[in-house]
C-alpha cells in the first residue's frame, strides 16, 4: 500500500460505438468523457523545487495530455484506439497500457463514460514496491 495517491482529471469529447452490444450503445454516439489518472508512491522529493511532492501535477498533466490530444479528444475511439468494442473497461486498460512507460508510478486509470458510470483499471500491486 502506497502512502500517497495523486489524481488528475482530464475531460474529452469523443464518439464510439459498441458493435457487440445488444442495446442502444451499438449505435454511433458520443460522450463527454472524464478520465482520472492516478499515480501513487510513498517517498516524496526531499529537496529542490519539487520538495514535498510525490510528483508535480504539471508533470502528470504533461505526460497525459499528448495521448488525449492525439487519440481521445474529438476522435472516433473505435478508430483511434483500434479497439473493436471500446467500452469503459477496454478504454481504461488501453490508456493504462499507454501511460505506463511515461508514468512509472501510475496506479490506476478511471474512465467515466457518463455522470453515473465509470470503470477503474488497476494492476495488482507488486510486492516490495516503494
Ligand atoms: Zn457510450
The predicted model scores a pTM of 0.94
- Show the DSSP H helices in 53-130 as ranges: 57-67, 77-80, 88-99
Q: Report how far ligand 1's centroid is from the alpha carbon of 48 (Å).
A: 44
CA angle 22, 93, 122 (to 5 degrees): 120
**115 flagged as catalytic:** no
pLDDT (tens digit per residue) in 36-72:
999 999 999 999 999 999 999 999 999 999 999 999 9
**31 flagged as catalytic:** no
**110 flagged as catalytic:** no
Distance of CA 9 to the CA centre of its chain: 9
Which residue in this structure is represented by grid cell 502506497? 2
Among residues 29, 45, 74, 97, the one annotated as catalytic is 74
The torsion angles phi and psi of 68, rounded to 5 degrees, stand at -60, -45
Amino acid at each position: 500500500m502506497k502512502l500517497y495517491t495523486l489524481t488528475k482529471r482530464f475531460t474529452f469529447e469523443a464518439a464510439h460505438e459498441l458493435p457487440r452490444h445488444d442495446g442502444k450503445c451499438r449505435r454511433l454516439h458520443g460522450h463527454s468523457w472524464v478520465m482520472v489518472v492516478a499515480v501513487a508512491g510513498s517517498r516524496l522529493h526531499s529537496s529542490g523545487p519539487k520538495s514535498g511532492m510525490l510528483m508535480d501535477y504539471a508533470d502528470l498533466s504533461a505526460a497525459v495530455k499528448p495521448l488525449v490530444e492525439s487519440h481521445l479528444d474529438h476522435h472516433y475511439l473505435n478508430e483511434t484506439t483500434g479497439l473493436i468494442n471500446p467500452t469503459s473497461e477496454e478504454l481504461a486498460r488501453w490508456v493504462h497500457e499507454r501511460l505506463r512507460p511515461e508514468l512509472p508510478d501510475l496506479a490506476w486509470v478511471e474512465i467515466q463514460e457518463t455522470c453515473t458510470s465509470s470503470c477503474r483499471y488497476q494492476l495488482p500491486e507488486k510486492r516490495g514496491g516503494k
